[in-house]
Chain A
Amino acid sequence: ILNVEQSPQSLHVQEGDSTNFTCSFPSSNFYALHWYRWETAKSPEALFVMTLNGDEKKKGRISATLNTKEGYSYLYIKGSQPEDSATYLCALILTDYKLSFGAGTTVTVRA
């Protein structure tokens, strides 16, 4: 089992503010890192698939970076809106094709 850690566990953001949070992992021995967005009472939805050191991906106001050498990925939300409230999960696709998920960061955007 690869220990994928996400921090913080939860955060509260004022509408319009930007925020970021971290997914960290002990090894670069994986095929890809995924970010998911998970809204209450729904299923997780894929945000980004990242494979290379230095990868940067963007979708609207949300972006992510990957640093495999230092073992972390950041997810950024610019100008947070109430609809950004969700739990954000990261997962590693390991070399045996297992998936290992972090416990998630729950973001609450206050209007």
Chain B
Amino acid sequence: EAQVTQNPRYLITVTGKKLTVTCSQNMNHEYMSWYRQDPGLGLRQIYYSMNVEVTDKGDVPEGYKVSRKEKRNFPLILESPSPNQTSLYFCASSGDEQFFGPGTRLTVL
């Protein structure tokens, strides 16, 4: 089954404690992306990757890092999370269509 997986699905953490949200796809897609969704603001792109070792900033990259060492994986790294990064995060991969992961709800206290 074609899918995008994210882990963890829910995470409560404290300010400054580094965390990684994993994302993996099994569709051999070259394009992968991370979004955050906040009430009233819609989906905003954080980072995207056109292929292995190629990453670019989206509209809201501050406070986030990504890596693309393998085609299937695109982890999102928060080196020092802050409360304003509390949000719902989606990973996605694209061929002709974009497929979204199930989402990760992150709370930073």
- A sample of 21 cross-chain residue pairs with beta-carbon separation below 8 angstroms, ordered by A number, consists of A43-B100, A43-B101, A43-B102, A44-B43, A44-B90, A44-B100, A49-B97, A89-B42, A91-B43, A97-B50, A98-B45, A98-B48, A98-B56, A99-B48, A100-B59, A101-B43, A101-B44, A101-B45, A102-B42, A103-B40, A103-B42
Interface residues of B in 41-77 (CB under 8 A from A): 41-45, 48, 50, 56, 58-59
Binding site for B on A (CB under 8 A): 1, 34, 36, 43-46, 49, 89, 91, 96-104
* Nearest-neighbor residue (CB-CB) of A99 within chain B: B45
- Give the Cβ gap from A92 to chain B, nearest Cβ, in Å: 11
- Give the Cβ gap from B98 to chain A, nearest Cβ, in Å: 6
Q: Are B42 and A43 interface neighbours, CB within 8 A?
A: no
Band of interface residues on B: 20 to 34
| Assembly CA distance A89 to B33 (angstroms) | 17
- Which chain B positions have C-beta within 8 A of A1? 59
- Which chain A positions have C-beta within 8 A of B102? 43
- Which chain A positions have C-beta within 8 A of B96? 49
| Assembly CA distance A52 to B49 (angstroms) | 25
A-B pairs with the 7 shortest C-beta distances? A43-B100, A103-B42, A46-B97, A101-B43, A101-B42, A44-B100, A99-B45
